[in-house]
Amino acid sequence: MKRALKWGFYLLISSAIFVGTERFCHRATGGFTMINITDPHPYDKRWDSGAPTPEKLAEVREILSQKFYFLAPGGQSYAFRSADDQYVLKLTKHKRMRVPIWANWMPLPDFLEKRRQKTADKKKCIFDATFKSYMIAEKYLPEETGIVFLHLNKSNYLKQKITIVDKIGIEYEINLDDFEFIIQRRAILTYPYFDQFMLEGKVDRVKTGIRKLLHYLVERSKKGVEDHDLCFGTNLAFLNDEPFQLDLGSLRINESFKSPEVYKAKLLEAIVEFRQWLEECYPELIHYFDETVAGMINDPEL
């Protein structure tokens, strides 16, 4: 009995050490590993934007001639910033969109096999919705998203290796033809963008930014594009003082959004979080914000 308790204690301690080590490594690296961006899924014509023109290919190769450094993990990708801070390389986070590889090979009883299949179907839906969103962004919001290049199928025309550097400084050389990725221009997140102008006393620049941001949401809706994960703090930004759609993975086509009644109602829903942030950080702007929103809602031409 004592021996069993001793081994049970050792097993418990070993498990705790393993889990603790795994969580520490996850935090230290932002969850990035090569296996998480690697997947053998086959070519899918739905995600084919066509081979780039010689001019576009030259531009892409020039951008990718520099190192890229880990920036942040996102819901659908790992983001790496270019050495010149002008671009972001987003490598698909396949880990979130597939059943663990080991689970596909493990024999299971029928009731668990059904659960595994249900999980696999759910993961595939996430994958399809994410890649469809990327295509929507490229088609309907090319300027507003700053997409330079989409590479959603493996290819053989890039013929270029690049070096990416993870959060703890480890370098990896990868062949880009073998990975799904996006190149996007780098922008400034909404809240830091406003913070900087407020720090400099440039309140009028902030007011202009607020107005532009609200109008962007309306113009996006007029195109029939819906955002399932609208977050002003993390998913919207500014580039060259214009609103910028940072998050590319949560867009959907919804024709009802083209209706003024719908997009004005959705605007009121969307701004709650943003208004709370303004009220907490810059209450002196609340009156201007409310007046701007009211003017847009009551504008029959909008």
User: What confidence tens digit (pLDDT) does each residue in 99-152 have?
Assistant: 666 556 666 677 666 777 787 888 889 999 999 999 999 999 999 999 999 999
* Residues 202, 205, 207, 210, Cα dihedral to 10°: -130
Q: What is the pLDDT of residues 140-190, one digit of tens each?
A: 999 999 999 999 999 999 999 999 999 999 999 999 999 999 999 999 999
Distance in angstroms (rounded) separating the CA atoms of residues 30 and 47: 27
- Nearest Cα neighbor of 221 from 211, 230, 232 is 230
3-state secondary structure of 101: helix
Distance CA 192, CA 15 (A): 41
Predicted confidence band at 4 (pLDDT cuts at 50, 70, 90)? very low
Domains of the chain by start residue, with CATH? 32-185 (no CATH), 188-298 (1.10.510)
How high is the pLDDT of residue 301? 77
Dist CA 249 CA 229 (whole Å): 9
Beta strands 161-165 and 77-82, pairing class: unpaired
166-170 long-range contacts, Cβ below 8 Å, gap at least 24?
166/29, 166/30, 166/32, 166/70, 167/28, 167/29, 167/30, 167/32, 167/70, 168/28, 168/29
> What mean pLDDT do residues 236-243 have?
97
Q: Are 285 and 194 in contact (CB under 8 A)?
A: no
DSSP 166: -
Can you tell me the distance from the alpha carbon of 173 to that of 164, in angstroms, rounded to the nearest whole number?
A: 6
Of all residues in the chain, what percent carry a pLDDT higher than 70?
86
- Spell out a b/e string for 16-46, using b for 16 or more CB atoms within 10 Å of the CB, else e: eeeeeeeeeeeeebbebeeebbbbeeeeeee
pTM: predicted TM-score of the whole model, two decimal places: 0.86
Residues 6 or more apart whose CB falls under 8 angstroms from that of 54 comprise none
The token pair that represents 127 in the structure block = 């994958």
**Nearest Cα to 39, choosing from 99, 115, 116, 120?**
99
What are the helix (H) ranges across the chain? 2-29, 54-63, 101-105, 110-140, 142-145, 190-199, 203-222, 260-270, 272-281, 286-298
Structure tokens at 169: 């400084």
Residue with the two structure tokens 């702007």: 285
HEC string of 226-254 equals EECCCCCCCCEEEECCEEEECCCCCEEEC
pLDDT tens, residue by residue, 22-55 = 344 445 667 899 999 998 888 999 999 888 999 9
Q: Yes or no: say if 273 and 174 are a contact pair by the CB < 8 Å rule.
A: no
Residue 39, token pair as written in the block: 């997947």
